[in-house]
Amino acid sequence: MPLPAGAVPRAVVVLSFSVLLSARGAAPRRSARSNLSASCWSRLHPVNMFNSYNLKFHHRKALTSPYPGSHIERCQVPEDKVGWLTEWEDYNPVEYTSKSVLAGPNWADPQINNEGFSPKFNERDGEVERKSLNGLYAVENGRPRNPMGRTGLTGRGLLGRWGPNHAADPIVTRWKRDGSGNKVAHPVSGRNILQFVAIKRRDCGEWAIPGGMVDPGEKITATLKREFEEEALNSLQKSPEEKAKLEKQLQKLFSQEHFVVYRGYVDDPRNTDNAWMETEAVNYHDETGETMDNVPLEAGDDAGVVKWVDISEKLKLYASHSYFIKLVTEKWGAHWSEDPGSECHK
């Protein structure tokens, strides 16, 4: 059921290691590297954080202007007025929904006041999942309210659904190896270098995880595999024979043990006060490299370029993707930073 307008949604997403650890009042001990990595991961795993912490989240990319694909400028929102609990009588957000959404494609909702449209927020609405991974969100004047606060823009922007828009991000990784097949360690940190399959988005030119939207009624596991095939292998342009070969090659990778890196709200530049991105990021790791070495990468769909990218803190990725990638390096004890003190933030 929708929350009353004055209720506080359960918002427990954290996109900052420093915020998390300062809130706990705990600084990690400088122990052996393997123990440090495991210690960091157990504390910072975001799937476990949802029920443990209620920390302040700050929009960053969701406050940027102009809005993607437009010349629309958001109402400027000071950091101390992002949260809905802070009264702001003069708040005057810009209303914007792109023409591509208003055209009524099958992936988009109608306008709230359209006759016959009665969305069931905070629950599964037919084939459309309107539940948030962050818990219940408020509904005000018939519109869902962004659980992380004000963005300076109302409507849906480029997003099709009112409320949460669910995506899936497959993070496919392997170890960087030299010509002899040995793992390559970073010369400064001494940790082995991890690589992941990255795409360069056509819409904004930023590097990103090859993910995409969950189709109505589709299982997350199916979305993860489908999006990787479409974005990183150009499967939509393959012949049935080529598709079958790819399926066989990827079956081992996507059916093996994997772990959910993150589930929840994403600080995305497309977010508005009434529509926002949420994702489930899952890591599929090819430990030996034997599976992915035989799979030819080819950009497709929304990708301009696709390649294996060395992981480090120097990467500038789309939306919250750098955060997801850092969590993967924590899990595998891989290189992230040349600064030894940043491996597990104080």
Domain residue extents for the chain: 61-332
Burial class (CB in 10 A: 0-12, 13-18, 19+), 308: middle
Q: What pLDDT is recorded for position 282?
A: 96
CATH fold for domain 61-332? Nucleoside Triphosphate Pyrophosphohydrolase (3.90.79)
What value does the mean pLDDT of the chain take?
84
Q: What pLDDT is recorded for position 331?
A: 94
Q: pLDDT means per 10 residues in the chain (346 residues)?
A: 48 37 36 42 42 48 95 96 96 98 96 95 97 96 96 98 97 96 96 96 86 93 93 90 89 90 94 97 94 88 85 89 94 91 52
Q: What pLDDT is recorded for position 301?
A: 67
CB of 198 within 8 A of CB of 206? no
Which tens digit of pLDDT belongs to each residue from 246-298? 888 888 899 988 999 999 999 999 999 999 999 999 999 999 998 898 898 98
Q: What is the 3-state secondary structure (H, E, C) of the chain?
A: CCECCCCCCCCCCCCCHHHHHHHHCCCCCCCCHHHHHHHHHHHHCHHHHCCCCCCCCCCCHHHCCCCCCCCCCCCCCCHHHCCCCCCCCCCCCEEEECHHHHCCCCCCCCCCCCCCCCCCCCCEECCEECCCCCCCCEEECCEECCCCCCCCEEEEECCCCCEEEEEEEEEEEEECECCCCCECECCCCCCECEEEEEEEECCCCCEECCCEECCCCCCHHHHHHHHHHHHHCCHHHCCHHHHHHHHHHHHHHHHCCCEEEEEEECCCCCCCCCEEEEEEEEEEEECCCCCHHHCCCCCCCCEEEEEEEECCCCCCECCCHHHHHHHHHHHHCCCCCCCHHHCCCC
Q: What pLDDT is recorded for position 58?
A: 60
